[in-house]
Amino acid sequence: MAFAGNTQSAPLHGLAGLATHAEALVERLDRYRLYRRTLAELAGMDARDLAEIGLCRSNIRSAAFEAVYGSQN
């Protein structure tokens, strides 16, 4: 017999909760900026340079996403 449980911590209220949400927002913004910067760098490369690293233009977005956020499997 198997049992699976899901536990969650109690939500933080007041300033502690606000600080936690602010930290999460800052982290998300930092990752998004890194994604956009990575995307811009890859988009600025010519086809020959992209081929050297094993990419083509149609793969730029997914490669930038995976580089910043990792595999989402």
Dump pLDDT digits (tens) for 1-39: 566 666 666 566 778 888 899 999 999 999 999 999 999
Domain that holds residue 50: 16-69
pLDDT in tens, 41-68: 999 999 999 999 999 999 999 999 999 9
Angle at 52 between CA 57 and CA 67, to 5 degrees: 65
Give dist(CA 34, CA 27) in Å, integer: 11
Confidence (pLDDT) at 14: 77
Residue 9: predicted pLDDT = 63
Q: Is residue 9 part of a domain?
A: no
* All residues at 6 or more sequence positions from 50 whose CB lies less than 8 Å from its CB, including other chains: 42, 56, 57, 60
Higher-confidence residue of 68 and 71: namely: 68
pLDDT for 12: 64
Is 10 among the domain residues?
A: no
Residue 11 lies in a domain: no
